Amino acid sequence: MAGLKKGRKEQQLFEKARKYLPGANLGNLGGDAVIARGKGSHIWDVSGNEYVDYLLGSGPMILGHAHPEVVKAVQEQLEDGTTFFANNEHAILLAEEISKAMPCAEKVRFSSTGTEATLYAMRAARAFRRRDKILKFEGGFHGMNDYSLMSIWPSELKPFPKAVPGSAGIPKAVQETMLIAPFNDLETATAIIEKHHDELAGVIVEPFQRLLAPKPGFLAGLREATKRYEIPLIFDEVVTSFRFAYGGAQEYYGVVPDIAALGKAAAGGFPLTAVAGREEIMAHFDNNAVQPADYMPQIGTLSGNPIAATAGLATLKVLKRPGTYEKMFAIGGQVRRGLQQMLDEAEIPATVAGEDVLFDVYFTDQEIADYRSTLKADAKMPGKFNQLIRERGIFKGASKFYLSAVHTQEDVDRTLDAFKSAIEVLGD
């Protein structure tokens, strides 16, 4: 690859990956890079190539890699133990801080992954409503549990609200419990809610779906429709919590759900996530608060472990400092606007979609508002673009530029230079 060296050690690791890992990777990013270390907004691969990192561990490294305050806090806690399977001070204090930050968070229950958090959020809604069906939005990503994988990237576009499995191995019975609506189409979503309200346990939505910002009134309309029928509204904030604002997307967009699933940004990238919500719904996690038939056990060996909780408290302390979010949005805005401007000047049909702290490019000049409209975009161009900027020292996943609080003006300048060079090749 132009501009990158691949040393013997990395080649040997590639060979071992091909031998021992399905697909020669960990199931996340492709196996074409082996990362050795990260510091701040940069990472280095085993061959010594340095990159500006916009992948950030798929988002949770909101303070970048190895932030000194987080590292110091974790090192101190390591001396006192790593996990207890019992209450610990740091987890209790982190629950308090999350409750103060998130408008919906009257009570908090910890888990370890986003998949768990969304699964428990949906289960809590079912326990509360004593009904089985959940409405989700086509193309919405809620982790890897069976319910979340319905209509996540369907190639077969069935009439709404029919669900399509997004993975092999999912029981057909799961498919029958999920209803599907188009994101940003309030009329269709409301009609489905009205028709099926007596069957619905809850509605789960990414308030910012992958790269799609909600249209004005969409989230508020969902809130009104679900409240009318006393159906819990679940925000999947695994990506947006502590990223769009200290109070998450619910603060940023001004719409408060009944339950939210929160991601690892709340723990500085360590394995800790959370379900947070109204006390009467969260009561189903408490066997002393509900009848035995309504109790919802939730057991996780590392749930609320002191290492992750300590990292979370240190992370949130930094994020609360004045100017943190203003800087992150300003830096991201330069990258986002610069990319759109260069693509426009090169006369390449493209839309840079998202918010200033989380965005990417769709290679189409048509409106992108829901999953089906994303299918209008050129499917091959993103891979070419990502490869070209990777060769120029910019690291990202298949989709999304994630911004951290430690990206700098120097990173912006380097990124825009890489864009300029890559787009010259892309436009040939």
- Report the share of the chain in percent with pLDDT over 90: 93
d(CA 91, CA 89): 6
Q: What is the pLDDT of residues 205-226, one digit of tens each?
A: 999 999 999 999 999 999 999 9
d(CA 305, CA 83): 5
Q: What is the pLDDT of residues 354-373, one digit of tens each?
A: 999 999 999 999 999 999 99
d(CA 310, CA 199): 41
**DSSP annotation string for 334-390:** HHHHHHHHHHHHTT---EEEEETTEEEEES-SS---SHHHHTTS-SSHHHHHHHHHH
Residue 370 falls inside a structural domain: yes
For residues 235 and 260, the answer to whether their CB atoms sit within 8 Å is: yes
pLDDT value, residue 58: 94
Phi-psi domain of 15 (left: phi exceeds 0; alpha: psi -120 through 50; beta: other): alpha
Q: What is the pLDDT of residues 226-250, one digit of tens each?
A: 999 999 999 999 999 999 999 999 9
pLDDT value, residue 28: 86
For residues 71 and 308, the answer to whether their CB atoms sit within 8 Å is: no
pLDDT value, residue 155: 86
Which whole-number Å values give the CA distances from 62 to 209, 240, 255, 296, in the listed order? 19, 11, 23, 32
**274 falls in which pLDDT band (50, 70, 90)?**
very high
Residue 3 falls inside a structural domain: no
- Three-class secondary structure of residue 136 per DSSP: strand
Q: What is the pLDDT of residues 276-287, one digit of tens each?
A: 999 999 999 999
d(CA 108, CA 117): 11
Q: What is the pLDDT of residues 292-336, one digit of tens each?
A: 999 999 999 999 999 999 999 999 999 999 999 999 999 999 999
d(CA 71, CA 76): 9
Query: 375 and 252: one domain?
Result: no
Query: 265 and 275: one domain?
Result: yes
Q: What is the domain count for the chain? A: 2
What is the spatial order of strands in the sheet that 401-402 belongs to?
351-355, 358-362, 401-402
Instruction: State the number of CA atoms in the 13 A half-sphere of 328 facing the CB.
Output: 28
Backbone angles phi, psi at 353, to 5 degrees: -100, 150
Question: Encoding tokens for residue 345?
Answer: 């000047």
Residue 57 falls inside a structural domain: yes
CATH of the domain at 267: 3.40.640.10
Widest Cα–Cα separation across the chain? 67
Interhelix angle for 306-319 vs 68-78, to 10°?
150
Query: 274 and 225: one domain?
Result: yes
**DSSP annotation string for 22-89:** GGGS-SSS-SS--EEEEEBTEEEETT--EEEESSTTTTT-TT-BS-HHHHHHHHHHHTT-S--SS--H
Show the DSSP H helices in 229-323 as ranges: 248-253, 279-282, 306-319
Query: 309 and 341: one domain?
Result: no
Fill in the amino acid letter for 87. Answer: N
Quote the domain boundaries for residue 127: 68-319
**385 falls in which pLDDT band (50, 70, 90)?**
very high
Given a cut of 50, whether residue 107 has pLDDT beyond it is yes
pLDDT value, residue 127: 98
Query: 40 and 181: one domain?
Result: no
- Which residues sit opposite 260 in a β-bridge? 235, 276
pLDDT value, residue 203: 98
The residue among 265, 295, 319 that closes a domain is 319
Residue 1 falls inside a structural domain: no
pLDDT value, residue 27: 86
The residue among 319, 335, 368 that closes a domain is 319
Q: Residue range 105-120: average pLDDT?
A: 97
Query: 235 and 353: one domain?
Result: no
Query: 301 and 395: one domain?
Result: no
Residue 2 falls inside a structural domain: no
CATH of the domain at 55: 3.90.1150.10
Query: 171 and 235: one domain?
Result: yes
Query: 40 and 98: one domain?
Result: no
pLDDT value, residue 221: 98
Q: What is the pLDDT of residues 125-172, one digit of tens each?
A: 999 999 999 999 999 999 999 999 999 999 899 999 999 999 999 999
d(CA 16, CA 18): 5
The residue among 252, 284, 319 that closes a domain is 319
Residue 333 falls inside a structural domain: yes
d(CA 124, CA 296): 7
Residue 334 falls inside a structural domain: yes
d(CA 5, CA 292): 61
Q: Residue range 101-126: average pLDDT?
A: 97
Query: 19 and 95: one domain?
Result: no
Q: What is the pLDDT of residues 46-78, one digit of tens each?
A: 999 999 999 999 999 999 999 999 999 999 999
Query: 128 and 192: one domain?
Result: yes
Query: 330 and 208: one domain?
Result: no
d(CA 285, CA 19): 43
pLDDT value, residue 1: 41
Show the DSSP H helices in 130-185 as ranges: 172-175
